[in-house]
Chains A and B, each alone.
Chain A
């Protein structure tokens, strides 16, 4: 399959520095992280196209009229629980002058939303229902009689729910979520989200780099033991530990995982290289955060899963989170972290999750470096828009592999990205 051709794309791709170099999944041109036209095209061709975008958790909008605001790429949206129990999503833009219809993170609106600017109102499906002074005052002013409200409602998105995650899409052609993800990745989502969850906290983390650098980092199983000393030292994971990476057939989504048995012989590979991350003398004074309790009925200790374009579902022992990646310009982005546990957690499990939350987030023992490394790339490539990066560990394809010393799922990202973008 030619990864560059999407039969539904008719518009010619414009690339700042000519065609994709070497036409290989193992090469990525740096202009893709820098160019303003690329950024605009991503909004149109990825976020507003045939993709499922995470918009909220189902528990965020349990009752009728409960809503959350979010963004799909750069497009502000409202997600709301409808009267009949369904979930609606529509663009958070008043049909009149374009103001935000809802400007808080969430809340409850009972039956309708009302734009504060001129009090135009919308029902829970995003239909324009009320226009203040539509007939004017004392026969003066008002809207013209032939104004058709239905032509001016905000854009509506279809929604779907998987394991309590709510996704939205602007396209009528986006396949059902299980088909979109493929059976393997769908199974890995359900593996973690197997019962009702409860939110434990929300934090956001602005990063000084293009959003794709973070998505690549999430998919990059190669770096984990090399960049993150904390992981490697305490044998939470290392490349020589059993595990692998699953890549969906279209390359777009991935799940990397480690299995709880340790390959002792493999540690020699680390020692020979005299890598920074090998320090056997490093011990914790209070190791209680590294005493996880198995809760998913298997031996998978750690699973990092990504859903194209911009969602990460993380299970690191008992530390569970979703990370929504929000583009904020060519060289800025934000991670919206939502930590969660399950409704049936015991107090002990709650405490254990809080302890393990030290591992991730902006202050995470094992994720802290991910906060700065994307910025190092963004700064490093400042004068290299016409140069390329090498993504060749484990070959040049994007298939599932039984090792994590590979960049297979990073190549999968580019396979999907190029198909959507027409590159």
Chain B
């Protein structure tokens, strides 16, 4: 799988979230997909739960509409610093990719905190139009503490 395209996919992902263009975020996934936000420790123990879980793009769209219309929280945004993707393997057209990330949370009052670090464990395939899309993105956070609330996806 083309490394440049993978970098572009991750850049588009981070940019959609950090610029609060949340509606762009589900479009980077296949219609049937897995998205899960969990921790390294849960993965190590074989625990399947996530604090966010979706098995369709529509569920990701619902995350966005809840974020926009339903949920109440103090204004904040993220800054993603996404590292270089490593292709761990490829079976047919599905690539296993791992990419480290760091998320800084910028609160309304200007406080900037390291909110999460971890790695994305992805299954990436190519669309008919040649664009890369996520069939699966497991967000594996290094730590297990989530301060106050997680409104915006990682």
**A202-B42, A227-B72, A229-B70 given; A284·B62 CB < 8 A:** yes
User: Main secondary structure on chain A at its contact with chain B?
Assistant: mixed
A111 at the interface (CB under 8 A from B): no
A94 to B116, CA, bound (A): 34
A229-B69 contact, Cβ under 8 Å, with A201-B42, A285-B58, A286-B59: yes
Query: Do residues A365 and B42 form an inter-chain contact, with CB atoms below 8 A?
Result: no
Seed contacts A229-B70, A282-B69, A365-B66; 20 additional CB < 8 Å A-B pairs: A200-B47, A201-B49, A202-B144, A203-B39, A203-B49, A205-B149, A230-B70, A284-B58, A285-B59, A285-B62, A286-B62, A355-B59, A358-B53, A358-B63, A361-B51, A362-B51, A369-B71, A371-B73, A371-B148, A372-B72
* Cβ contact within 8 Å between A354 and B149: no
CB distance from A229 to the nearest CB of B (A): 4
Please count how many residues in chain A sit with their CB below 8 Å of the partner chain's CB atoms.
40
Q: Within 8 Å of chain A (Cβ to Cβ): is B147?
A: yes
A363 touches B72 (CB 8 A): no
When A and B form their complex, which 4 residue pairs have the shortest distance between CB atoms, in order from nearest? Answer: A201-B49, A371-B149, A286-B58, A285-B58
In the bound assembly, the distance between CA atoms of A353 and B37 in angstroms comes to 15
| Given A202-B41, A354-B53, A355-B53: A362 touches B66 (CB 8 Å cut-off) | no
Nearest-CB distance from B116 to chain A (Å)?
A: 11
B7 located at the interface, meaning its Cβ lies under 8 Å from any Cβ of chain A in the complex = no
Docked complex: B35-56 residues within 8 A CB-CB of A: 37-39, 41-42, 47-56
B interface residue numbers (CB < 8 A to A): 37-39, 41-42, 47-56, 58-59, 61-63, 65-66, 69-74, 144-151
Out of B37, B55, B65, which one reaches A355, CB within 8 Å? B55
- CA A144 to CA B35, docked complex, whole Å: 62
- Map CB proximity to B onto A221-236 as digits: 1 under 8 Å, 0 otherwise: 0000001011001000
Assembled-state Cα–Cα distance A201/B145 (Å): 13
Task: Determine if A206 is an interface residue (Cβ-Cβ < 8 Å).
Answer: yes
Contact between chains at A354 and B59 (CB < 8 Å): no
Give chain B residues whose Cβ lies under 8 Å from the Cβ of A286. 54, 56, 58-59, 61-62
Q: Which residues of A contact B39 (CB under 8 A)?
A: 203
- CB contacts under 8 Å to B, within A166-204, are 199-204
